[in-house]
């Protein structure tokens, strides 16, 4: 599936999540396909004599150059950045540059401006970045995952000049002191590309992926390439005192993708020949590969079980055997967690399993194929150019393509702004991450070893996030734990530790009957304002609550503002006394 088709498919899914069945809008969206929408854009552009965005009337796309973050924009200025910890030591960090458009200033800048202008860089292991960029005015965001404040700055650089910037990162909470560690369980590299027998357009080396993960504040990560295990040796070499590499492979089947975590051997799903292809044979092969993974002390995970592509989505007819997997990726970084999305469908599958007392611990994975996070920058420009052309030729195009134009109107008005914000905020390494609790490593900079990470994942001692830190506990028990309810009371006291480097709006507690508690979050009262030191704010929303759980057999917690800042805990399993 092309990036353009993927983007439009996601937009259609989000529209399905916004409109109820039976409405005119829902009927329109249900009948539409991303191929029809993309075909219209291509037809309009062909009529204009444009074959792709670099032929558009945008002078910055005229020159082909080799800086991937800027996709063809002429780079004639220099940028030198150093990121350091508070003790003065250099450290990898994310550096996001937003090149200001005409009329924008650092004071009025809003990343939702109709163009994906973000370019993602990383400082190296010594905290240094030296690169060339286009001349212009920039807003800068420097960050290092959930535990650090986000630094914001701006600068102007002229052609053939350079600018130097030093940033000191403030870690407002050190979760390793509590035994919590963040990781990415689903990431690709050049070993998934045709150069190594794969099919994906991925160019980054294992070394570049490791730096990208560390820049995102991760302390462990799995390099889960398709089709082979060629990356294992070089991936192991990326281990440092503050980063633990996990060997992995994403196994392709005809009915979904299976993640083999922590296994050295190349586990291969043998797709039966046409004459032997039946559901029984497919089931037996799933049982075989999962057994092989577990026999090798690995973890078998089902990835993106509700993907739109049948070949990489779990077959609903095999729903009864889904429990063979140790964990399930319910939040894939290639699309947002919003109503209607494939992530939302996976989340609802997970809830359905929980309601049947079938607890499969949930995980996330960024599924990154491009650490620069500019997957949709060119297509967003193409969409905006099409929108301008549509304004000029509205009557003509509406007569010729009434359903497509009506659907594009919904996309432009209802979902494109949040998709733009999401693409500039959450794509790339660690854009979604899984925090695990490893008590044996408590206080160390990274988890102790691969086995400890896999054990925490199997037990569900974890939470899922794209930024907020969410650690609920009940009588010192963590998510994934079995807790016996009291015979005398249906009340449970829960402590919710909730921290964030961006404002959140609400936290909710869920049981099989739905939302048990929702608390609106007041940033003004709950925040810790560090502006006096030159740093942005971070927020401590932690609280305790008495929960009337009744006879509920599980409870879990979510926190969020929108799809770019949210977290989900694994459940507590409540057993009768």
Contact 443, 176 (CB under 8 A): yes
* Alpha carbon separation from 172 to 145, 184, 241, 529 (Å, rounded): 11, 21, 21, 11
Residue 274 burial (10 A CB sphere; 0-12, 13-18, 19+): exposed
H, E, C per residue of 285-303 = HHHHHHHHHHHCCCEEEEE
Look at residue 154 and give its three-state secondary structure. strand
What pLDDT, on a 0 to 100 scale, did the predictor assign at position 309?
Answer: 87
Backbone φ, ψ for residue 188 (5° rounding): -115, 165
Percent of the chain with pLDDT over 90: 80
Mean pLDDT of 22-51: 89
Helix and strand totals (H; E) in the chain: 13, 27
What pLDDT, on a 0 to 100 scale, did the predictor assign at position 530?
Answer: 52
Of the candidates 368, 267, 353, 258, the residue with the CA atom closest to the CA atom of residue 311:
258
What pLDDT, on a 0 to 100 scale, did the predictor assign at position 534?
Answer: 47
Task: Tell me the range of 214-223, 308-317, 486-495 where mean pLDDT is highest.
Answer: 214-223
**β pairing state of 299-303 and 327-332:** parallel
Q: How confident is the model at residue 66 (pLDDT cuts 50, 70, 90)?
A: very low
Task: Report pLDDT digits (tens) over 380-396.
Answer: 989 999 999 999 999 99
Helix (H) or strand (E) holding 133: strand 128-133
- Over 50: is that where the pLDDT of 249 sits? yes
Of the candidates 224, 242, 238, 315, the residue with the CA atom closest to the CA atom of residue 277:
315
Distance CA 232, CA 246 (A): 9
What pLDDT, on a 0 to 100 scale, did the predictor assign at position 214?
Answer: 98
Q: How confident is the model at residue 25 (pLDDT cuts 50, 70, 90)?
A: very high
Task: Report pLDDT digits (tens) over 519-549.
Answer: 999 866 545 555 444 444 799 999 999 999 9
Of the candidates 547, 451, 448, 450, the residue with the CA atom closest to the CA atom of residue 507:
547
* Alpha carbon separation from 178 to 350, 396, 474, 539 (Å, rounded): 28, 63, 16, 18
Percent of the chain with pLDDT over 70: 93
What pLDDT, on a 0 to 100 scale, did the predictor assign at position 57?
Answer: 35
- Name which CATH class applies to 68-168: mainly beta
Q: Say yes or no: do domains 68-168 and 467-577 share a fold.
A: yes
Count of Cβ atoms closer than 10 Å to residue 227 Cβ = 19
* Alpha carbon separation from 410 to 15, 24, 45, 330, 343 (Å, rounded): 8, 12, 21, 27, 21
The CATH architecture to which 467-577 belongs is Sandwich (2.60)
- Domain positions in the chain are 3-62+377-425, 68-168, 174-375+427-463, 467-577
What pLDDT, on a 0 to 100 scale, did the predictor assign at position 109?
Answer: 94
Look at residue 184 and give its three-state secondary structure. strand
| Residue 515, strand partner residues | 510
Distance CA 269, CA 516 (A): 42
Q: How confident is the model at residue 124 (pLDDT cuts 50, 70, 90)?
A: very high
Average pLDDT, the chain: 91
Of the candidates 468, 437, 480, the residue with the CA atom closest to the CA atom of residue 560:
468
Residue 402 burial (10 A CB sphere; 0-12, 13-18, 19+): exposed
Of the candidates 171, 176, 147, the residue with the CA atom closest to the CA atom of residue 243:
176
Helix (H) or strand (E) holding 372: none
Of residues 445 and 278, more confidently modeled: 445
- Over 60: is that where the pLDDT of 77 sits? yes
Cα atoms in the 13 Å half-sphere on the side-chain side of 119:
19
Q: How confident is the model at residue 327 (pLDDT cuts 50, 70, 90)?
A: very high
What pLDDT, on a 0 to 100 scale, did the predictor assign at position 227?
Answer: 85
Phi/psi-derived region of residue 284, left when phi > 0, alpha when psi is between -120 and 50, beta in every other case: alpha
Task: Report pLDDT digits (tens) over 405-432.
Answer: 999 999 999 999 999 999 999 999 999 9
Topology given in CATH for the domain delimited by 174-375+427-463: TIM Barrel (3.20.20)
Distance CA 302, CA 360 (A): 10
What pLDDT, on a 0 to 100 scale, did the predictor assign at position 60?
Answer: 35
Distance CA 99, CA 113 (A): 12
Contact 333, 370 (CB under 8 A): no
Mean pLDDT of 25-34: 96
Distance CA 163, CA 52 (A): 33
Task: Report pLDDT digits (tens) over 131-149.
Answer: 999 999 999 999 999 999 9
Look at residue 484 and give its three-state secondary structure. strand
What pLDDT, on a 0 to 100 scale, did the predictor assign at position 71?
Answer: 62
H, E, C per residue of 440-458 = HHCCCCCCCCHHHHHHHHH
Task: Report pLDDT digits (tens) over 547-571.
Answer: 999 999 999 999 999 999 999 999 9
Residue-by-residue DSSP string for 194-229: GGGT--S-----HHHHHHHHHHTT-SEEEE--BS--
Distance CA 167, CA 85 (A): 9
* Alpha carbon separation from 444 to 264, 441, 451, 465, 517 (Å, rounded): 25, 5, 16, 22, 35
Of residues 69 and 32, more confidently modeled: 32
Backbone φ, ψ for residue 240 (5° rounding): -135, 170
Mean pLDDT of 319-327: 96
What pLDDT, on a 0 to 100 scale, did the predictor assign at position 440?
Answer: 96
Count of Cβ atoms closer than 10 Å to residue 406 Cβ = 15
Residue 420 DSSP one-character state:
H
Distance CA 433, CA 423 (A): 16
């Amino acid at each position: 599936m092309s990036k353009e088709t993927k983007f439009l498919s996601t937009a259609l899914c989000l529209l399905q999540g916004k409109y109820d069945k039976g409405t005119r809008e829902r009927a329109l969206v249900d009948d539409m396909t991303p191929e029809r929408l993309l075909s219209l854009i291509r037809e309009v552009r062909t009529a204009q004599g444009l074959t792709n965005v670099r032929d558009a009337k945008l002078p910055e796309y005229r020159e082909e150059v080799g800086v991937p973050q800027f996709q063809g924009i002429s780079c004639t200025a220099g940028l030198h950045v150093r990121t350091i910890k508070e003790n003065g030591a250099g450290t990898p960090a994310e550096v996001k540059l937003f090149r200001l458009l005409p009329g924008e200033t650092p004071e009025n800048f809003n990343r939702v401006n109709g163009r994906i202008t973000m370019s993602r860089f990383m400082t190296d292991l010594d905290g240094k970045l030296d690169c060339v960029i286009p001349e212009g005015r920039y807003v800068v965001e420097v960050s290092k995952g959930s535990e650090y404040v986000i630094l914001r700055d701006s600068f102007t650089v002229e052609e053939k000049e350079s600018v130097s910037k030093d940033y000191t990162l403030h870690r407002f909470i050190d979760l390793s002191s509590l035994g919590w560690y963040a990781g990415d369980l689903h990431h690709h590299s050049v070993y998934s590309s045709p150069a190594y027998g794969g099919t994906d357009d991925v160019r980054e080396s294992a070394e570049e992926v490791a730096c990208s993960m560390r820049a995102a504040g991760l302390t462990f990560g799995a390099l889960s390439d398709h089709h082979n295990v060629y990356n294992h040796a070089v991936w192991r070499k990326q281990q440092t005192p503050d980063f633990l590499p996990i060997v992995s492979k994403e196994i392709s089947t005809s009915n979904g993708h299976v993640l083999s975590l922590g296994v050295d051997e190349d586990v291969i799903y043998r797709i039966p020949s046409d004459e032997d292809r039946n559901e029984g044979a497919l089931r037996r092969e799933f049982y075989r590969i999962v057994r092989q993974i577990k026999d090798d002390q690995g973890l078998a995970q089902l990835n993106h079980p509700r993907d739109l592509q049948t070949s990489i989505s779990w077959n609903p007819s095999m729903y009864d055997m889904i429990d063979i997997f140790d964990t399930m990726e319910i939040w894939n970084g290639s699309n947002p967690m919003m109503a209607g999305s494939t992530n939302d469908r996976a989340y609802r599958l997970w809830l359905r399993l929980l309601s049947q007392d079938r607890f499969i611990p949930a995980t996330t994975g960024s599924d990154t194929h491009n650490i620069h996070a500019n997957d949709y920058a060119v297509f967003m420009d193409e969409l905006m150019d099409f929108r301008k052309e549509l304004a000029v030729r509205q009557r003509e195009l509406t007569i010729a393509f009434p359903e497509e134009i009506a659907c594009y109107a919904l996309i432009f008005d209802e979902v494109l702004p949040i998709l733009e914000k999401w693409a500039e905020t959450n794509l790339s390494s660690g854009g979604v991450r899984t925090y695990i609790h490893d008590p044996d490593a408590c206080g160390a900079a990274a988890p102790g070893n691969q086995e400890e990470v896999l054990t925490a994942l199997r037990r569900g001692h974890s939470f899922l996030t794209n930024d907020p830190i969410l650690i609920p506990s009940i009588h010192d028990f963590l998510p994934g734990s079995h807790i016996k309810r009291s015979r005398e009371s249906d009340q449970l006291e829960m402590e919710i530790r909730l921290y964030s480097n961006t404002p959140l709006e609400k936290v909710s507690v869920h049981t099989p009957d739905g939302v048990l508690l929702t608390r609106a979050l007041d940033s003004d009262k709950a925040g810790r304002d560090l502006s006096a030191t030159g740093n942005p704010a971070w927020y401590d929303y932690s609280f305790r609550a008495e929960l009337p759980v009744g006879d509920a057999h599980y409870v879990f917690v979510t926190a969020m503002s929108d799809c770019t800042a949210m977290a989900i805990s694994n459940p507590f399993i409540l057993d009768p006394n």
